[in-house]
Amino acid sequence: MDHTVFFDQLLNTQQRALDAALLYQVLGRKAEITKDADVFHSVSARALHHVALLRSMTGEKLRPRKWKSLLIPFLFSALGRKRVIPLLAMGRYLEHQRCEVLGRRYKILKQICSEEKKLGQNIAALMY
């Protein structure tokens, strides 16, 4: 894999983690169910940890894109948690799959990938 392509993938992963951290902070603040809030705050904290690890690799300080943190809470209200929580869990599973390719190159990324899967499971457990 070309170095610039790999670096771009790292930056994209860092950006998605930063966006996710903001999204889950907002969801945690707006959650009406305590268990939801706890899980969302936990996911946000892990995402921020991932951002820090990725930043140490890229050296880039990125800004979160806020559109998801505005749209998803609206959908949460409009469609209900039973429809949105599976989508949130799917997002973590997709992130797990995306970063598996990068994880083959760096061990630390493998750790992030396995955590993404666990975060998806934690979110999916909110359905039950």
- The full set of domains in the chain, from first to last, is 3-127 (1.20.1260)
pLDDT tens across 107-127, in order? 888 888 889 999 999 999 998
What are the structure tokens assigned to 119, written together? 């975060």
- Phi and psi at residue 59, in whole multiples of 5°? 75, 5
Full-prediction pTM beyond 0.75? yes
Q: Which one, of 76, 77, 99, 74, lies nearest residue 86 by Cα?
A: 76
What are the structure tokens assigned to 110, written together? 């493998």
pLDDT tens across 3-35, in order? 788 899 999 999 999 999 999 999 999 999 999
**Cα–Cα distance for residue pair 102/49, rounded to 1 Å:** 17
CB 58 within 8 A of CB 7: yes
**Cα–Cα distance for residue pair 17/41, rounded to 1 Å:** 14
